Amino acid sequence: MTGAQCRAARELLGWSEQDLAVHALCSSMTVRNLERRAGRPHRSTILAIRRAVEEAGVQLTDGEAPGVKLQHRDS
């Protein structure tokens, strides 16, 4: 998960840095640092953030320009 993907996922969900931090059980500073590529977060932290956005319905995409999209859910 890149910082840009993290920021885009939050925007799709309408979440603040604090909202994502609560869902991922980390600090908002951790989210901010990941998005700004400041420091090197632990792998477990990146996985927790990724899991939080995926559980909320965001799919991370790979390719030349990694991105995000909302998953279609059957209800």
Tens-digit pLDDT profile for residues 57-73: 999 988 666 788 887 66
Contact 41, 74 (CB under 8 A): no
* pLDDT band at residue 47 under the 50/70/90 scheme: very high
pLDDT recorded at residue 59: 93
Contact 28, 49 (CB under 8 A): no
Using the predicted structure, report yes or no on whether residue 26 has a pLDDT greater than 70: yes
pTM of the prediction? 0.86
Asked whether the CA dihedral 30, 32, 33, 35 is positive or negative, the reply is: positive
pLDDT tens, position by position, 8-21: 999 999 999 999 99
pLDDT recorded at residue 52: 98
Number of H helices, E strands in the chain: 4, 2
